[in-house]
A and B are shown apart, each in its own frame.
Chain A
């Protein structure tokens, strides 16, 4: 068993990406890799992204990204706050 396994908090995936008629994927989709093994303390890691869906074009333009999982406005109630869960 690798000495530390960090499963990034999957509750972010509970935030269903905004339904979007053109791009909505079928089925349940987590927009990133969720298990990092053999990660060292104090090293920064960016989990690998996995495309699930995109915002519609005009919303992407005004939000600054086409990917719901990357949309994180500084001042907004829907700013996803997460804490990693350690096993």
Chain B
């Protein structure tokens, strides 16, 4: 998969990961204003990146992404295929 798409997908996954981590923190710290600001900012960044990605490379969800004609969801590669995903191993 092309370099730029891989970079975009990794950044998107990283933002979603942080949103989940901050969500877990907020569950026990609902009054932490700073955490909530960070969470909202992460979610907005992720949404913006997601719409950009989908405009460029097609739907990421089969049930909440709009699609050009014809229905693009069935195009390769499928999300579970190796080629679809970015490489993270060995970076830490």
Enumerate A15-49 residues with CB–CB distance to B below 8 Å.
23, 25, 49
Cα distance A23–B21 when bound, in Å?
15
Chain A residues with Cβ under 8 A from B32's Cβ?
51
Number of A-B contacts (CB under 8 A): 47
CB within 8 Å for A62 and B29 given contacts A54-B38, A57-B11: no
Chain A positions 49 through 76: 1 when the CB is less than 8 Å from some CB of chain B, otherwise 0: 1010010011111110111000001000
Chain B residues with Cβ under 8 A from A57's Cβ?
11, 14-15, 17-18, 42
CB <8 Å contact, B25 and A61: no
Chain A residues with Cβ under 8 A from B29's Cβ?
49, 51
CB within 8 Å for A60 and B38 given contacts A51-B32, A67-B21: no
Cα distance A47–B92 when bound, in Å?
28
CB <8 Å contact, A65 and B25: no
What's the least CB distance linking A41 to chain B, in Å?
A: 26
Cα distance A62–B28 when bound, in Å?
24
What's the least CB distance linking B56 to chain A, in Å?
A: 19
What's the least CB distance linking B27 to chain A, in Å?
A: 12
Chain B residues with Cβ under 8 A from A62's Cβ?
88, 91-92
Q: Identify the B interface with A (CB < 8 A).
A: 10-11, 13-15, 17-18, 21-22, 25, 28-29, 32, 34-35, 38, 42, 88, 91-92
Q: Could you give 6 example pairs across A and B, Cβ below 8 Å? A: A49-B25, A49-B28, A51-B38, A57-B15, A60-B18, A73-B92
Q: Identify the A interface with B (CB < 8 A).
A: 23, 25, 49, 51, 54, 57-63, 65-67, 73
- Additional A-B contacts beyond A25-B34, A49-B28, A66-B21 (4; CB < 8 A): A57-B17, A58-B14, A60-B17, A65-B21
